[in-house]
Structures are given as C-alpha cells and as structure tokens.
Structure 1
Amino acid sequence: METFNVVIADDHPIVLLGVRELVERDRRFSVVGEVVCSDGLIKLLRSQPVDLLITDFNMPGDSPYGDGLKLVEYVTRHFPAVRVLVLTMISNPLILTRLQELGVLAVIQKSQLHVEIEVALKAIAKGKRISGHRTTPTSVLDDGADLDERFSRLSPKEHEILRLFVQGQGVNEIARGLNRSAKTISTQKISAMRKLDVSSDQELLTYCIERNLFN
C-alpha cells in the first residue's frame, strides 16, 4: 500500500489538531511534521521527503517567503514534487483562480474542512483529480506602461496595504496587524484604488494578480 508523508502548516493549534486527526484516519497518510510559520515550513520541506502539504493560506510573521499567493508560488516552484492543499476562508474567484494556476490540487474552505479534506485525501490516494469549482477572472489590463505609472503613485503605506489585501486579508485584519484603525486602512485602500483607477475589490485583485505585483 502506497503511503504519503504529510506536513500541516497552520498557526492555530486547534486547526492543526483537527487536520491531523482527519488525515490520520486514513492509514495511507502519515503526518511527518507540523509548522506554524512560513520559515518553519520551508525549513521542513528542505529537510525531509514530503508528498503532501496542507497549508493555511494566511501565515503569521514577517518571513521572506511571505504567505498567501507568494508562499504558495515559492513552494510550487521550489518543491514541484510536493502536492499542495490550501486551507482558507477566502472565496474570491480571482485568488482561487490564481491558486489553481500555481498548481494547487484543491482549495479547502475551513467551513467545510471535515468533508472536503476527506474527499481530497481519497482522490489523492487513488491518483484521481480532485473535483472543484473553477473560475475565470475578468481582466482590467489595458496599456502596461500606463498601469506601471499608476502603480508608482502609491505611497509606501498604500503599497503595504495592497500587498496584504492581495494575500487575502480584510480591512479589519490588516488594521490589527499594522496596529492602525480600520477607518485609516479603509481610507488608504480607497486612495490606492483611485490612483490605480479601479472601482471594485475584484478589479483591484485582478490588477495586482495579473501584473504579478507582489510575488
């Protein structure tokens, strides 16, 4: 019987415990490591053979490997043999599409954790494709030079807020992480959107993802 070495990455102990319990119900999967930050994850992936990574989309700490899309891209680029499942509360189709493009096997909604992990593990064990919804974002790109000029107008604070937003954080979460008020973060985000000439969160995400601005 083929067995799979599994690593779980999440900064919440309860999630780590719950995912481990779900994984180890199937004898074909063995949890060989648990990590709570991006640095720990990359160090572990470099130190031993890993077949499957189950990782939270948002990871804490100021790591050169980042989190969100940046971390997933680093993992899929430098550890192509590792299959990746992403845990998240995010439902934005632009981020989900980008994760699919990066080669993630499946995006598992934390609200459906028990059901979706079981389905995903069974598919992996049988070598089958994991079924899921696929979405196609709408592009807002026109003239590349003009877009670059718009991006250069952003202040350092606006740049940082957009980076965190693209990683999947909401205004309140960004405010807590940067120790600012939600009103201040919202104002700076709106200012950045005006400078980029986008009118919605969807257009903003498309702009940043398609231009690969924060990877």
Structure 2
Amino acid sequence: MAETPIRLVIADDHPIVRDGLRGMFAGDPRFEVLGEAADGAQAVELARVVRPDVILMDLRMPGTDGVTAIKELARLGVPARVLVLTTYDTDRDVMPAIEAGATGYLLKDTGRDELIRAVRTAARGEAVLSPSVATRLLGQVRAPADPLSARELEILRLIAGGATNREAAARLFISEATVKSHVLHIYAKLGVNDRAAAVAAAFRSGLLTLDDD
C-alpha cells in the first residue's frame, strides 16, 4: 500500500529559498507541497484553508513574523506541526518559537537528508532540534544565562529558607539595602519578578537542591 504523502506549506520571505524547498520536496513522492507563503499572515491563512500536516516556517519575515504566526495557528486550532527553518539560533529566536508551540527548530544549513527526516519526524508530532538549538535549550534549563555570584547564591538560599531581606542582611553582616540590590540582580538573572518565582526557578535549574540548608 502506497504511503500517504506528508502535506507541506512553505513559509519564507525569500523566493529563492521557497523555490529550493519546493524543488526538494516536490520531487519526492513522500511529500506534497500545497502552497507557499511570503510572510506569517499568508502562512496562517493558507494553512487554515489547505490544512497541511507540516509547515516549514521561517522566523524573521516582514509583517507577521514566524512566532506570531505560530501563536495564531494555535489560537485558531490549526493542527499543523510547525517546523521552524531559520538562520538564527539566538535565545531571543529559539525560546519564543518553542514556547509558542513549534514542533521543531532547524537551521538553514541543515542537509537535505536531515531535513527530510526532520519533516517526517515532525509530521508524527515528535520534537526535532538542530544540535546547536538542543545545546542552547539544555543550557537554559540547567542554569541562567548570567550565572549568580557566590553572594547572590547565599542570599537565594536564605530566601528559600524563608528569610526576609532584613534577616538575610543580619545573617550575612551586610546592609538591608545591599540585600535588596542583590535580590533585584537575582530576579533579573533568573527572569522572574518575585521571591517565590526565584526560588522555583532556582530549583528547576539546579541552583538549589533539597539538600541546601
């Protein structure tokens, strides 16, 4: 029995990239290219109409960008898997795309065979990440991008134990104003806004463990 082709939409603002991807997939009987989009808004509208299995989505496009398009697809309940295909692997590109609901994230220097395998994997709903992106995500989970100083870790441990700023200042023989300054730096480095969130983020990233006093 013949394999049902994976139905694709290609979203990229560069015509030459779209042409190259279309040529790659259109010549393979395992795939069917349903259409192309030059920006995120076109990708959302096209996907809403043709209901593809996978959307190859660039991130930085004029008008509606890729992350906004991924969020809109989720809001509309379009079931397509989104496989990001971009040149960028910075934190400000990777994290929002994954959080918005992308199934995978690949870079445009990915080889043909690897890309074909990735699309087939994404169509099954399985995550696909390029090695550099996987390394970046692991780093995000393990520790904050800007590591805490020894003093900040001391204060964080005291906060986790329920100490107020005044109590932490007394324990460490520093001023309360200095503790407040360190706490603000801790919030900024962990990307949080309050004490409870800071403690939770520290446990998630391994900065604090249950063995800490």
TM-score (norm 1): 0.55
Local SS of the residue matching 2:110: helix
* CA drift at 1:39: 2.8
Q: Mind listing any 5+ residue stretches in structure 1 that lack a counterpart?
A: 141-196, 208-215
Q: Structure 1, residues 164-204: CA drift from partner, whole Å, max 9, x if none? A: xxxxxxxxxxxxxxxxxxxxxxxxxxxxxxxxx99xxxx79
Per the alignment, residue 50 of structure 1 pairs with 52
Residue deviations 1:24-52 (CA, integer Å, cap 9, x gap): 24312100111112332222122222211
User: 2: distance between equivalents of 1:30 and 1:23?
Assistant: 7
* CA shift for structure 1 position 139: 7.8
1:35-78 deviations in whole A, cap 9, x for unaligned?
112332222122222211111111113xxxx2142222212332
1:19 aligns with 2:14: no
Aligned 8 A contact 1:57 1:88 in 2: yes
For 1:101 and 1:79, how far apart are their aligned partners in 2?
16
* Aligned residue number for residue 71 of structure 1: 69
Amino acid at match of 2:89: S
The alignment status of 1:105 with 2:107, answered yes or no, reads: no
* Contact 1:6 1:30 (8 Å CA) reproduced: yes
CA distance 1:55–1:108, shift in 2 (3 Å): same
Tell me if structure 1 keeps the 8 A contact 2:4–2:30: yes
Number of the residue aligned with 1:29: 31
Runs of 4+ in structure 1 off by over 6 angstroms are none
Aligned residue for 1:39, secondary structure, equals helix
Correspondence for 1:194: none
SS at match of 1:111: coil
Deviates more, 1:11-20 or 1:37-46: 37-46
Count the aligned residue pairs: 142
Structure showing greater relative contact order (alpha-carbon pairs closer than 8 Å, 6 or more residues apart): 1
Q: Sort the Cα spacing of 1:131 and 1:37 in 2 relative to 1 into closer, same or farther, 3 A.
A: closer
| Alignment correspondent of 1:189 | none
**Higher gyration radius (CA):** 2
CA separation in 1, counterparts of 2:88 and 2:95? 12
- Residue 27 of structure 1 aligns with an amino acid whose one-letter code is P
Contact 1:76/1:103 (8 A) holds in 2: yes
Identical columns (%): 28
RMSD of the alignment, in Å?
3.0
Which ranges in structure 2 are unaligned for 5 or more consecutive residues? 147-183, 193-213
